[in-house]
Chains A and B, each alone.
Chain A
Amino acid sequence: MHFVPVFTRVFSVLLALALIVAGVVVVVEVVAAWFGAGWTLLPDDTTSRFQLWRWDDRSVVITIIIVGVVGLISILIGVWPRPPLTVPVAGQPDVNYERHALEQSIRHQIEDLDGVAKARVKIDRRRLRTRVETNRRHQPQELKANVDALLAGVTSSRHLELQPDVRLRFPGGTR
C-alpha cells in the first residue's frame, strides 16, 4: 500500500476547501464594505483585534507555527517520490500497464520458480526491484541466475524500460 496518493488526496481536498472558504470570506467582506454593511462574516471587532494582537502573542505564534507546518507538510507530500500508477510500454505511447497488476503478475511468475519461498516486487519509474526469499542453503547463485533470466525475459517480452534489481535472501546470507 502506498500512502502518498492517499495523503495527496486528503490534503488536496482539505486545502482546496480551505482556499474556497478563505476566498468566499474575502470576497463577501470586500463587497459588504462597498455597500457599507461593515464586517459580515468576520466578527465586528476584527480590526481592533488586529490592533491588539502582537507578533509575539502566544495565539499569533501558534497560528504561525500551524500555517508553517501545514505548508511544510504540503510541500513534502508534493515532492515525496511516488510510484506511478501506470508503467509505459516502450514504443507504444498510448499503451500502459497498471503498475499494481504488473507487480502481482511478475511476483506470481517468480514464486512459480523452483526454490522460491516468497517474492516481493516493486516498480518505480526506472527500476524493477525484486526481493526473493529461499530456504535453499546451497547454490543460491543458481536461483538468482534463474530470477535474473526470468526478469530479463519479462522486461523484454513486455517491452518494459525498467532496470531489474534482484536481491536474494537465503539461510545465512543475502546476495
Chain B
Amino acid sequence: MKRIRNRQLTVSRVFLIVVGAVLLAGAVIAGLLATGATDHLGNALDADTALLNADGLRLLYVHRLAFQFLALGIGLLLIVVGLIWLRNQIPPHRHQEDHSVETQSSDLAGRNTVAGGALARALENDLARHPQVERARAEFRGEEGVVRLRLDIDDDSSADEVVRTVVEPAIDRVTTVAELPARPNVQIDMRPVSSSVSRVS
C-alpha cells in the first residue's frame, strides 16, 4: 500500500539525513586538518603529522581495550542500522493471516481455520460487486486487527460516500460471517479512475 511506502520513504529520509550529517561532519573536521585551517585537534590529530602519529598510536595502546570495545560497539551498531535500513527498502507485500474459529457444536470439539487469502478474496468480491468500486484488493491482518484495502473507485464517487455505503457494510458482513472477535480497523487507499480507463486496464 502507498501509505506504507510513504512511511518507508520517510524513515529512509531520516536515515539519510543522520548518516549524511555524520559523514559531512567527519569530512569537515578532516578537511580543516587537511587544508591547514586547524593545526591540531588534541595531540592525536595534528595537521603537520601523519593521520596516525606517535601520540595517536600511544593513545590507542594505552586505552587498547576501551577502544576495542568502542569499535566493536560502533561496528555492531553499523550492522544493525544497515540491516534495518536495508529491510526498510523492501516494498510492502500483501500478507494474509488465517483466522481460527472455535467449533460451536457441543458434541464436536475443535477449531476451524479460514485461510486469510480466502477471507480477503471474499471481501474483495463483496466490495467489487458495488458499481462505485471498479476493483478491490484486501489484506487481512487478524493479529493486528487490521484490514487494508486498496480500492479503485469510480471517478464520480467520493471517498466518504464509498466508505459509508460500500466499505462499512462489507466489513460488518465479513466480521459476522467469519466470526471475527471484533470489527477490524480498516485502512483504505483509494484510486479514483474513470470508467474508460478501468475498462482499458
Interface residues of A (CB under 8 A from B): 5, 8-9, 11-13, 15-20, 22-27, 29-31, 33-34, 47, 50-56, 60-61, 64-65, 67-68, 70-79, 82, 84-86, 89, 91-92, 94-99, 101-102, 104-105, 108-109, 157-159
Contacts and interface: CB of A to CB of B under 8 A. Distances in A.
B160 A92 contact: yes
A136 B198 CA distance: 32
Which among A79, A86, A102 has the greatest number of chain B C-beta atoms within 10 A?
A86
A85 B190 CA distance: 12
A96 B20 contact: no
A50 to B, nearest CB: 4
A109 B194 CA distance: 9
Contacts of A26: 71-72, 74-75, 78
B28 to A, nearest CB: 7
B27 A65 contact: yes
B47 A55 contact: yes
Given A27-B79, A158-B159, A105 B193 contact: yes
A60 B125 CA distance: 63
19 contacts: A8-B16, A9-B12, A12-B86, A16-B85, A17-B82, A23-B76, A24-B75, A26-B78, A64-B34, A65-B27, A67-B26, A68-B23, A70-B20, A71-B24, A75-B24, A92-B159, A157-B158, A158-B159, A159-B158
B34 A97 contact: no
B183 to A, nearest CB: 13
Given A23-B79, A78-B16, A94-B187, A51 B85 contact: no
A9 B80 CA distance: 18
A98 B68 contact: no
Contacts of A29: 71
Given A8-B12, A11-B16, A64-B30, A109 B155 contact: yes
Nearest to A21: B82
Given A23-B78, A53-B51, A74-B16, A30 B72 contact: yes
Contacts of A158: 158-159, 192
Contacts of A72: 20, 24
Interface stretch (B3-11, B100-108, B113-121, B173-181): B3-11
A12 B36 contact: no
B159 A159 contact: yes
B140 to A, nearest CB: 16
Contacts of B71: 26, 29-30
Contact of A98 (B2, B53, B83): B2
Nearest to A54: B50
